[in-house]
Amino acid sequence: QEVSARLKRDFSRGLGKHSHHKAPVKMLPTFVRATPDGTEKGDFLALDLGGTNFRVLHVRVVEEQQKVLKMDSQICAIPQDMMLGTGEQLFDHIAACLSDFLVSQDLKGQTLPLGFTFSFPCEQKEIDKSILIRWTKGFNCSGVEGKDVVKLLKEAIHRRGDYDIGSVAMVNDTVGTMMSCGYRDQSCEIGMIIGTGTNACYMEEMKNVKRVEGEDGRMCINTEWGGFGDDGSLKDIQTEFDRVVDKMSINTGVHTFEKMISGMYLGEIVRLVLVKLTEDKLLFKGQSSEALKTPGRFETKFISEIEEQDNGLENAQNILTKLGLKWELVDSRVVRLVCDTISSRSARLCAAALATIANRIRVNRGLDHLKTTVGVDGTVYRKHPNFSDELKATVRLLAPECDITFLVSEDGSGKGAAMVTAVAHESPFCLCMCTRGNAIKY
């Protein structure tokens, strides 16, 4: 409840006209003000950049069947050195991948609209103009922060000169998740990711979005809640292990909340706890291993495997053996307890943040009871055996007047990006200036 109350205050700061500059939770306007209505159709490209892989897709929206079809896709790896190299290198690589894909799909020569899912904190100026605020998730390419990523992509395509693209719609992955689920469920007004990183978006009343002109209707707000706590507001609940994770990361001091709950960091938190318990001679008779002492060697996927109901203990023992540790039965049980503690904390903190959004929407609309749907995606939510149940139970406790349905996204960053592009392409003014039947004269 305390975490939720602090985040509630930060939401108001992020939405404020004069307070948003210094707000740790950025509450970024997306300029997405309509959800799909089933009349969209056509062929679209979608690019998805949000982690160590980059994906390009060909998506067809069929109006007659009200279907979003993923025709085909291709995954391109992004080498580690490129994640830390120049922005020009990165966007040239993306442009080359897109060129190869167009050739493989026999789409060269067509100029298709493109949805660009770019899952990093950006300030969106327009639907096709988005300024990178800062890199996260292990990226630190030079010459991109403070720049328009759509322009950088178009410049890279222009440098190649062998193909062109049509209109571009910038899509945060949470917005894509909300839009892909919104096509299936009209009451979906929240998108949430809990995977490598974490973030959420929701439909906010325009009158509360002080940094954008207009009072009527709603706009989707990209909260960037991963930055919650960057002003020190979570210091009292951060552990010594959280502080080490932050210190060892390439973006020290930022994305405090994300580092406590997302997949990129959970494995490392567990490793640090195990190291401390071993040093205190409470595990493995005080005998560590080189692997356990090596940052990054305890992978987050190990947590899911260790917490499996049927084979968890056996999985724990196999993992400890691979890490060069000499274990006894009690050690494997303690390791399982550590994993459960850290994943439970993650689920509860995530639930506190989600409950803040649901309660806000209910109060915004003056409702005694809110019925809404959350479109959700991410490997932690999908793959961990207990995470989603614990998240839902905690949300029910913290938002008792909200009846929340969870809908797992069918490729929000791909199909969802195409959906945003389709809505924008069909009716550009509709995307920016209408929501749920409320027209605004501009």
**CB burial of residue 167 (10 Å; 0-12, 13-18, 19+):** middle
Residue type, 230: D
Catalytic residue among 4, 119, 249, 343: 119
119 a catalytic residue: yes
Q: What sign does the dihedral 14-361-189-356 (CA atoms) show?
A: positive
Neighbouring CB atoms inside 10 A of 145's CB total 15
CA–CA distance, 234 with 92 (Å, rounded to integer): 39
**342, amino acid identity:** I
∠189-190-195 over CA atoms, to 5°?
150
From the list 305, 306, 297, 308, the residue with the least C-alpha distance to 272 is 297
Annotated catalytic residue: which of 128, 173, 242, 331?
Answer: 173
> Which helix (H) or strand (E) element contains residue 291?
helix 290-293
Q: DSSP states of 302-327 as a string?
A: HHHHHT-TTTHHHHHHHHHHHTT---
Look up 173 and say whether it is catalytic. Answer: yes
Return d(Cα 166, Cα 21) in angstroms, integer. Answer: 33
The span from the CA of 392 to the CA of 354, in Å, is 10
Residue located via tokens 């318990």: 277
CB hemisphere CA count around 241 (13 angstroms):
18
| Sign, Cα dihedral of 70, 168, 189, 374 | positive
Indicate which residue of 55, 218, 348, 360 is catalytic: 55
Active site residue ranges:
55, 119, 173
